[in-house]
Structure 1
Amino acid sequence: MAAWLAGSRAGQAATGGNVAKAYMPEIGTDYATTDPVNFDPEFPPVHFPHSFKSKGKPIQSFMWLANGPEAKGCVIISPQANGGDALDSLIPALLSAGINVMRFNPRGMWDEYENYSGLGSLEDLHSAIAFLRENGGRHSIPGSGDKPRQYQIDLDRIAVLGKSGGGGLNGLIAASESPYLNTMIAVEPARLRELPPGYDKHFEEVRVATDGRIDQKMWFDKLTPAVRERKDVLKAVPKLVDKNILLIGSMDKDYVQNIHKPIVQAMTAARAKHFSAMILETGNSFMLNKRIALTRIVISWLKNECGF
């Protein structure tokens, strides 16, 4: 058990006693470090690019299919707002656990056709869910010949995994808005709030360093009151009480005080039925020194708590 839990602590450490269920990973196959035992030569694991439409625009996406022909759950990875950390490091372990993975690039993140926005990326996440549900979840691998390989998504087992604003926050809001998204893993989600002094300088440094691609000040300046209202995670809590929600954060003081604690307290007060929360013993929001611990937690929770 110590090996499983190294680097993690229960929600009480971060919430002052007003806690959700503190998720404790169960011992079993360690998919973070173990390749699949079985291999199906007719339906091997595969990775391929594809696209779907959102607001009439093509969204570039990638799919990873796990071994075997049976219907499988699918985790949609919604990337961090600036296109940085999409948690791709978890993908091989998810496949080993028999879970398909889809990751997409929201409009404007890597293309020049329009500007990335918090609202647009949320709409694109809803479109990703709708794409998986097309044809009852039955899809074909593009470019696989005259007899294209088919794969089946289990529509009752669609989850979103994401970090920060583009992933964690968007996933929580999408879960509150969509009847078809019942499972969400939010890794250090953001909240739309007044930013501390000094952030303008930081935003400008990032804008210059990325040759203007990442202009966070522009994103914040364009947030309308309606968008802020829609993406207020605390106001979304009443619509999350029946969902499977796992909240994972770091020990960063600003995150714990202004994001983790308020979300945990709101979900606890609303008597959320399937909500778990935990803090990893890392002060870095990217959790780069706790990726194996993070991977074990995510997969154990999906399989043992959510039936993936």
Structure 2
Amino acid sequence: MNTGSISDRNAAARAPKNLRRLALLLAAGMACPFGAPLAQTVSQATPRAVTQDPPRDTKFPARLEVLRIPSGGVEINGVAMVASGAGPHPVFVLFHGLPGNEKNLDLAQAVRRAGWTVVTLNYRGSWGSPGEFRFAQNLEDAHAALAFLRDPANARRLNIDPARIAIGGHSMGGWVAAQTAATDRNLLGTVIFSAGDMGGIGVHARADLAAIGALMDDNRESLAGVSGRSMAEELAANGPQWSFATLAPKLAATRLLVLYSDDFAKADSESLIAGIKAAGGKSLRSAHVPTDHSWSDRRIALSSLVINWLNTLPKARLGPAPTRQ
């Protein structure tokens, strides 16, 4: 998903006419003010983990664990790519977009090679997870995944440090990650790339529900229990409270990396960066990479940026897990 196409489609020029129309509309209303300062950048140097396998640890080898994460009365599908070594390892939870055709599993594998256990999941009603898809439930599923990983029994089984969890997300998953970071103060940090402002789309849905409904119809493959119309209505009902404009001040104290590309969502990222800076945020880093929404020809750059930033996060435990707000 991106803010203009709400999908994992690539270039603006190839997007359907209605997607280009929405992209222009969003850019006109939500672009970063001219000259607004952006955040400090992060290194794009290629770390070893992007191109080289680590030495094999025969006692504590890397492995794959299937997860069934309780959320909303069902168990959603997840996978843990457990890092090699004695551990306990820090954790990186990666959220996919709408509908999630690009799941960024190459990024997940690179982060694992860098020493992190990586968890991916499918929201309720998506890609075979039980239940019906709802945007609000995506946020609930994110919190449920964190609670699952912080459970002592699960932490022992996965050989992870439940006090050292970072999260990330692509496209709509970037919105999920950013919203989650705003209410969970015990995360090490959050990275979002080509993130789409679902609340901003909801604001526009109030003015043109039919157009947003048509866009959602074009982006709901693999999603259960929804129509384009129902998705647009949910966004319209929650637009302002879910928007990046509302979210930005809540992220002022968050260790956040914002990566953005030349896609429909570029203006969303620029506006979020400007809003966080205006709120006094000093832990923000950002980088712009000239590529498409799916980072199709900059996969090594994406993994490098994320891993280099993860390496800057605190190495010590941050204390007990917070209660959910």
Could you tell me how far 1:183 is from its partner in structure 2? Answer: 1.0
The alpha carbon displacement at 1:236 in A equals: 2.1
The residue matched to 1:158 in structure 2 has which SS? strand
Conserved? CA contact 2:95–2:168, under 8 Å: yes
Q: Percent identity?
A: 22
Q: TM-score, normalised by structure 1?
A: 0.81
Contact 1:18-1:264 within 8 A present in 2 as well? no
Query: What is aligned with 1:190?
Result: 196
Q: In 1, distance between residues paired with 2:223 and 2:276?
A: 40
Match of 1:148 in 2: none
RMSD: 2.7
1:144 matched residue in structure 2: none
- Counterparts of 1:265 and 1:122, CA distance in 2: 24
Q: Please give the alpha-carbon distance, in whole angstroms, between the structure 1 residues aligned to 2:250 and 2:229.
A: 30
Task: Give structure 2 stretches of 5+ with no counterpart.
Answer: 1-31, 317-325
Three-state SS of the structure 1 residue aligned to 2:151 is helix
Structure 1 pair 201/137, CA: closer, same or farther in 2 (3 Å)?
closer
Deviation, 1:27, is 4.7
Matches within 5 A, 1:125-140: 125-135=142-152, 138-140=155-157
State the partner residue of 2:184.
178
1:260-296 CA-partner distances (Å, limit 9, x unpaired): 22111101111112101111111x2111111110000
Partner of 1:34: 52
Counterpart of 2:72, as a letter, is K
User: What is the TM-score with the length of structure 2 in the denominator?
Assistant: 0.77
Mapped to 2, the partners of 1:301 and 1:231 lie a distance apart of: 26
**Residues 132 and 203 of structure 1: is their aligned pair in 2 closer, same or farther, counting only changes over 3 Å?**
closer
User: 1:22 corresponds to which residue?
Assistant: 40
Name the structure 1 match of 2:23.
none
Supply the distance in 2 between the matched residues of 1:304 and 1:112 (Cα, whole angstroms): 34
- Richer in strand (by share): 1
1:244-259 matches, cutoff 5 A: 244-252=255-263, 254-257=264-267, 259=268
**3-state DSSP class of the match of 2:175?**
helix
Of residues 115, 118, 121, the one that matches 1:101 is 118
Deviations 1:180-203 (Å, cap 9, x if unpaired)?
334111111111221697555444
Cα displacement string for residues 115-156 of structure 1 (whole angstroms, at most 9, x for unaligned residues): 21110011000000111111186332xxxxxxxxxx432233
Question: Secondary structure, in 3 states, of the residue corresponding to 1:22?
Answer: coil
Counterpart secondary structure, 1:109 = coil
The residue number in structure 2 matching 1:158 is: 165
**What is the CA–CA distance in structure 1 between the aligned matches of 2:102 and 2:120, rounded to whole Å?**
12
- Give the Cα separation in 2 of the matches to 1:26 and 1:294: 8
Structure 2: distance between partners of 1:127 and 1:210: 21
Native 8 Å contact 1:237 1:266 kept in 2? yes
Q: Is the 8 A contact 2:214 2:229 kept in 1?
A: no
Q: Residue 179 of structure 1 aligns to which amino acid in structure 2?
A: R
Alignment check: 8 A CA contact 1:31 1:94 kept: yes
Q: Distance in 1 between matches of 2:222 and 2:305?
A: 33
Which residue of structure 2 lines up, in the alignment, with residue 11 of structure 1? none
Structure 1's unaligned 5+ residue stretches are: 1-13, 141-150
